[in-house]
Amino acid sequence: MSTGIAQGVLPPVLDSTSEQPPLFDGTTRLYTSYICPYAQRVWITRNYKGLQDKIKLVPLDLGNRPAWYKEKVYHENKVPSLEHNNEVKGESLDLIKYIDSNFEGPSLLPEDPAKREFVDELFAYTDKFGGGLFAAAKGDGDAGAPFDYLETALQKFNDGPFFLGREFSQADVVYAPFVERFQPLLLEVKNYDITVGRPTLKAWIEALDTVEAYKQTKWDTEELVSGLKKRFQLS
């Protein structure tokens, strides 16, 4: 558990015994799980745009989910979902774009068409990337393939450490939560260091730690790794 919850900076996790927050009362709510990488993408977006007071976090215990979530809020029963303007929407990639274009705050997408196209390309690779990570964790296939892709992608705009160079963007938001989890997981269970031979990826990981919006969402590594080990039945 994060010290953020203990210190009252982050709201407590709701479970099957918790009452439902009033739906469609005008409050914008991000239903989330602190340990879910998809939800973390949207949490980073909210923080980067300075929407901490405008979008309220409603963290759920996915292992002991409140029944009202599926019944009344989001029938897909997954996180993240966003309650806004009397509607509930899901899917992390869509929510990043929705929040970035429908709320105030700094943009996570530059005007430059070549950069926008590259963000689309990076969004399109996310499923394949996820598949590669799961294969790597289970010991199937080439563990390095998803990270080789990142290493190459990070070299495209080389005036800074992020995917688009100097500017932190939607593309960084999408990949950061997964690298946060799989870097320590692969090191622990496969003794595989994803940064060896990948200096650009290493520099990106270091640069992420300078982004306050991301730092506020980082979770206890041991908790993340032990959750994934259980999920993939790794010892």
Interface with ligand GSH by CB under 6 A: which residues?
33, 36, 38, 62, 77-80, 90-93
Residue 87's DSSP bridge partners are: 84
Smallest separation, CB 182 to ligand GSH (Å): 14
Smallest separation, CB 218 to ligand GSH (Å): 16
Smallest separation, CB 146 to ligand GSH (Å): 17
Complex with ligand GSH: residue 33 or 217, whichever CB lies closer? 33
Complex with ligand GSH: residue 137 or 198, whichever CB lies closer? 137
3-state secondary structure of 115: helix
Backbone angles phi, psi at 161, to 5 degrees: -85, -10
Smallest separation, CB 163 to ligand GSH (Å): 18
Name the token pair of 17. Answer: 């015994």
Complex with ligand GSH: residue 130 or 144, whichever CB lies closer? 130
Burial of 79 (0-12, 13-18, 19+ CB in 10 A): buried
Smallest separation, CB 99 to ligand GSH (Å): 13
Complex with ligand GSH: residue 10 or 93, whichever CB lies closer? 93
Complex with ligand GSH: residue 143 or 224, whichever CB lies closer? 224
Pairing of strands 55-59, 28-32: parallel
Per-residue burial over 146-182, b if 16 or more Cβ lie within 10 Å, else e, is: bbebbbebbeebeeebbbbeebbbbbbbbbbbbbbbb
